[in-house]
Structure 1
Amino acid sequence: MMAIDDSTVRDPDVLRAAMVRALRDQDGIRSEPVAAAFATVPRHLFAPDAPVEVVYDLHRTVPVKQDENGLELSVMSAAHLQAVMLEQAGVEPGMRALEIGSGGVNAAYLAELVGKQGEVITVDIDRDVIDRARRCLDDAGYPQVRTVLADGEGGVPDSAPYDLIIVTAAAWDIPPSWIDGLTPTGRLVVPLTVCGTTRSIAFDRDGEGLVSRSYSLARFVPMQGEGAAKERKVMLRGGVAVQSDDARVTLDAQALNSALDTPRLDRWSGEAYDQPDELELYLTLNLSSPARLHAANDVVERGLVEASALFGVPALVSEDSFAYRTRRENAATGGFESGVVAHGPDAQALADEYVTLLRRWARDHRRRGAATLRYLPNPAPAPLPRNPVLRRHGTVTATWH
C-alpha cells in the first residue's frame, strides 16, 4: 500500500496525486506524458464499487468479472503494471492505438497520450466487460474512445493499421492479425506467456516478424476465445502439480508422482542466487524439456517440495524424473546460493543440465535486460534456432547477451 500522510484520506484527487508520486519513486512512471495521463484520468470512476484506496493502490488489482467458480475473467490491472506497459509502448500524440482486452481505464490513459488528433479503440470478447467499459468511459469523459465487442485474436482490421497494439490479457501466441495490423514502424506490447512465465514484451516490426525492445514482469488473466492457452496440467498428488504448454514435453502424472517418492538429489551451483525474475526467464527458455512445478503451502511445510514451488518454479522433466531450482544461505555467494533438487531415475542427468544453466547464467547473463526475443511467423525457419518455443502461428526465440 502506498504511504500517504493521513491514512484516513479518501479524497480521489489526493490519492491520485500520491499514486503518481509513488509511481515515479518506483520507476513505474518515467516520462512526463505518462505522469500527466495518470494525474488526469479519474481512475476511481472505472471501479465505482471498489474502495477508493484500493483503486489507487500501486500494486492491487480490482476484480471486474468472475466465473461461477470464482476464477477471475477480467480485472482492472494494478496501476504500476499499467504505467510500465504504457512506458514500454512509447505512445505519442496523433497515434492510432488498439487495446485488446478492455477495462476502460487503460483506454482512457491511451486517449490522454494520443491526444485529440489520435484514435483509441478497445476490444473485448465479453459483452459484460465491454459494456461496462463503455459506461465507465462515458462517465469519465472519454466518449471518443471506440469500444468493440469481438474476439481479440482477430484484431479490429477495419481501422488498421495501428501505430500501437497493446494487449492486456496474457497471450499464449501472437496471431497474424496483430502483426499485419501494425504499421511498418508499429509496436506491439503484449504479456506473452511461456510455460507459466509471463513477461510484458514491447515488440517492434522486424521484417515479417517482431523483435523485442524491452520486457518486464507481468501478471494478467489469460486470453479467452481463439487465443486461449494450449496448456496441460497434471496433478502428481494433492497439492503438487506440473504444467507445460510445450507439446513436446511428456507429462506422465503417475511416473512423476512415483519420482517424488524417491530420495532427493541436491546439487549446488556455487553461484549467487539473485535477480530471480531474470533467472526464471532464462531457465524457462533454455531448459530442454521445460515445465513448471507448483506446490501448496502444506506440502512445502512437510518438506516434500521446496518453497521455490509455492508460486511456480521452472522445472526440467523427463518421462519419469524432474528437477527444479532452489536456494540456500551461503555467505560466500553474497547471501544465497542457487541449486537444484532432482527426483527419479534420471535425477543425476537432469540436475547436471539444470546446474549447467544456473552457472552459465551467472557467468554470462546475470543482469537485467540480457535477452532479445523474436517472434517468427509461420512457416517456421529451417533449421530451427536453438530451444525454439513453438506456437500455432509462429515461433518464439531468445538470444542472451
Structure 2
Amino acid sequence: MFARLAAKMPMAGCHCVNVGHGIVDNKDMPMNERAKELVETLKAQDDLHDPVVEEAFLRVPRHVFLPDCTPEEAYANIAVPLKRDAYGTVVSSASQPAMIAQMLEQLDLQRGHNVLEIGTASGYNAALMQYIVGDEGRVTTMELDTDLAAMAELSLQRALMSRIVVVHGDGAQGYAPRASYDRIIATVGVWDIPPAWIRQLRPNGKLVAPIWLDAFQVSAAFRHDPSGRGLYSEHNLPCWFVRLRGRDAGPGLTVRVIGSSLELVSSAAEQIDDAAVHALLSDDAAINHLDMPLTFDQTLSGLLPYLALNTNPDVILTSYYVPDGSKSYGLHGAGFGLLMRGSACFLPFSERGACHCFGSADAFIVLQDTLAAWRAASTPLLDKLRVRVLPIEGSIPEISAGRILTRRHHHIHMWMET
C-alpha cells in the first residue's frame, strides 16, 4: 500500500519506567490507550490478525521511537519521514503500522528465532521483533546512516531493549558474525536480492523483502526454492518502501519531470525523456473513464500487476507521485501511467477508473484493452502472483507463463497462477 507521510512535529516528552521484558510500562499513561486504538484500527482494517503481533504492538511504545511526533501522530496509522536528501526526497521513514503488522505476519516469528533486519530506521520494528522472539531469541538490525543508527540505539536504550544489536553498515552484505538466521526482513525496497542474504538464511528460514517488479513493489515472503536453486514466494503483498542504498541499490528508477513536482518511477526510467513528457503533458488532459469502476485495491493489487505481466515493449509502465498535496498537470497523489510515443494515460488510485489522457488515445486504448483481458481472466489479484528468484549464472530460464526480469544477481520470474 502507499503509506501517507506525516510531517515532523515539535518534540513530545516521554516518561519511561522499567517493568521487565525490556518494555516501558505505560499502563497508567494515555499512550497505552492510544496503542489500543491503533491495534483496533489495524484489526478493523483487516491488517492485523496474529495475537502475538497484536501483543507486541500493545507492549512496545511507539512514541519512544518517534520523539519528534505528537502522541496523536506517534500512534496514527501513518508512515513518518525520518530523513530526507538534499532534494527533499524521503530516504528513511518509520513504516506505516499497517505495513509493519502485515510484514511481521508474513515473517512468522517464533520464540527463540535469530533475526536479521535490514533498515533500522527508528528501531521500532526491531523492538517489536525482539518482544516476539523473547529473551531466548536475538535481533540484529543494520542501518547505513550513522546518525539514524545512533538515534535508534538511544531509543532502544530508552525502551530498555538494549539486547538488540544495531550495526552501522551496508545492509546488502548482511551480517555474517551473527548468522545463520531463521528470519531476515528488509524494510527497504530492493531491486534484487543480495546473495549474502541467501547465504546467511537457514535452510528452513524465511526472507521477507519489498522487491521491485517493474512499476510496483510487493512484500514477498521468500523461502528456499524446493528445487534447491534460489528463492520462491507465493505470499506477496502490495507495498511502497524507500529504496535500499549502498552497493546493491540498483539503477535509478525515478524521473522528475522537468519544471514540475511530478515524479515517475519505472524500471524503464532510462527510456523516459522528461522534456518530451513535459511537452506532452503541457496540453490540457482529456478525462476518459474506463468501462469498469475500480477500487484502490483492484487497481493496485490487480490491474497494475496484470499490466506489468502483459504490457508490450513499446509501452512504458510507470508509477507516479505528486508530493505534498500539490497538483502537477492536473494530477495529484499517486497512481500509475502508460507512456507511448505521442500518448500518455494516467490512472490515479483514488479516482475509480477516471484516466487523465494526453496526446493521442493510444495509451488509453491499451489500458482499456488490458482491463478487458484482466476481467476475462477473472480479475486475478496479488494472491495469485508467484515470484521465483533464480541465480543469474547460465542462460535465461525457459518459462511457460509470466515474465523474466534480469537483475544484477538473479533472474526474477513472476507469473499469475490460474
TM bucket by the smaller chain?
A: 0.7 to 0.9
Q: Is the 8 A contact 2:374 2:380 kept in 1?
A: no
Q: Which residue of 1 aligns with 2:25?
A: none
Q: Of the candidates 216, 222, 242, which is equivalent to residue 203 of structure 1? A: 222
Distance in 2, matches of 1:294 and 1:134, equals 33
Deviation per residue, 1:100-135 (Å, 9 max, x gap)? 000211111111111222121001111111111112
Does residue 1:18 correspond to 2:37, yes or no? Answer: yes
- Range with greater deviation from structure 2 (95-104 or 47-56): 47-56
Distance in 1, matches of 2:161 and 2:43, equals 25
Q: Of the candidates 96, 99, 109, which is equivalent to residue 81 of structure 1? A: 99
Aligned pairs for 1:218-229 (under 5 A) are 218-229=239-250
Does residue 1:67 correspond to 2:85, yes or no? Answer: yes
Q: Which residue of 1 aligns with 2:373?
A: 360
Q: Is the 8 A contact 1:272 1:362 kept in 2?
A: no
Q: Is the 8 A contact 1:195 1:290 kept in 2?
A: yes
Please report how far the alpha carbon of residue 88 of structure 1 lies from its aligned counterpart in structure 2 after TM superposition: 1.1
Distance in 2, matches of 1:113 and 1:244, equals 36
Q: Which residue of 2 aligns with 1:189?
A: 208
Distance in 1, matches of 2:48 and 2:140, equals 23
Deviation per residue, 1:183-219 (Å, 9 max, x gap)? 1222111122344523222222213222223222323
Please report how far the alpha carbon of residue 174 of structure 1 lies from its aligned counterpart in structure 2 after TM superposition: 1.4
Q: 1:51 to 1:60 in 2, by over 3 A?
A: same
Does residue 1:292 correspond to 2:310, yes or no? Answer: no
Q: Is the 8 A contact 1:339 1:355 kept in 2?
A: no
Q: 1:321 to 1:62 in 2, by over 3 A?
A: closer
Q: Is the 8 A contact 1:342 1:351 kept in 2?
A: no
**Bigger fraction of residues in strand:** 1
Q: 1:48 to 1:256 in 2, by over 3 A?
A: closer
Does residue 1:238 correspond to 2:296, yes or no? Answer: no
The count of corresponding residues between Structure 1 and Structure 2 is 377
Q: Which residue of 1 aligns with 2:389?
A: 375
Q: Is the 8 A contact 1:271 1:338 kept in 2?
A: no
Q: Is the 8 A contact 2:335 2:349 kept in 1?
A: no
Partner AA of 2:300 in structure 1: D
Please report how far the alpha carbon of residue 42 of structure 1 lies from its aligned counterpart in structure 2 after TM superposition: 2.0
Q: Is the 8 A contact 2:309 2:402 kept in 1?
A: no
Q: Which residue of 2 aligns with 1:48?
A: 67
Q: Is the 8 A contact 2:288 2:354 kept in 1?
A: no
Query: CA-atom RMSD, angstroms?
Result: 3.2
Q: Which residue of 1 aligns with 2:403?
A: 387
Please report how far the alpha carbon of residue 16 of structure 1 lies from its aligned counterpart in structure 2 after TM superposition: 1.8
Please report how far the alpha carbon of residue 386 of structure 1 lies from its aligned counterpart in structure 2 after TM superposition: 4.4
Equivalent position SS for 1:273: coil
Distance in 1, matches of 2:211 and 2:260, equals 29
Partner AA of 2:102 in structure 1: V
Q: Which residue of 2 aligns with 1:5?
A: none
Aligned pairs for 1:165-184 (under 5 A) are 165-184=184-203
Aligned pairs for 1:131-170 (under 5 A) are 131-170=150-189
Give unpaired runs (5+ residues) of structure 1.
2-8, 330-335
Does residue 1:276 correspond to 2:299, yes or no? Answer: yes
Equivalent position SS for 2:204: strand
Q: Provide the TM-score with structure 1 as the length reference.
A: 0.82
Deviation per residue, 1:283-340 (Å, 9 max, x gap)? 234323323355687766xxx55x4xx33433333455434447999xxxxxx65768
Q: 1:220 to 1:186 in 2, by over 3 A?
A: same
Q: Which residue of 2 aligns with 1:313?
A: 335
| Identity rate, percent | 28
Distance in 1, matches of 2:219 and 2:397, equals 28
Partner AA of 2:82 in structure 1: V
Distance in 2, matches of 1:298 and 1:89, equals 36
Q: Is the 8 A contact 1:204 1:213 kept in 2?
A: no
Q: Which residue of 1 aligns with 2:22?
A: none
Q: Is the 8 A contact 2:334 2:349 kept in 1?
A: no
Q: Provide the TM-score with structure 2 as the length reference.
A: 0.79
Please report how far the alpha carbon of residue 151 of structure 1 lies from its aligned counterpart in structure 2 after TM superposition: 0.3
Please report how far the alpha carbon of residue 372 of structure 1 lies from its aligned counterpart in structure 2 after TM superposition: 1.6
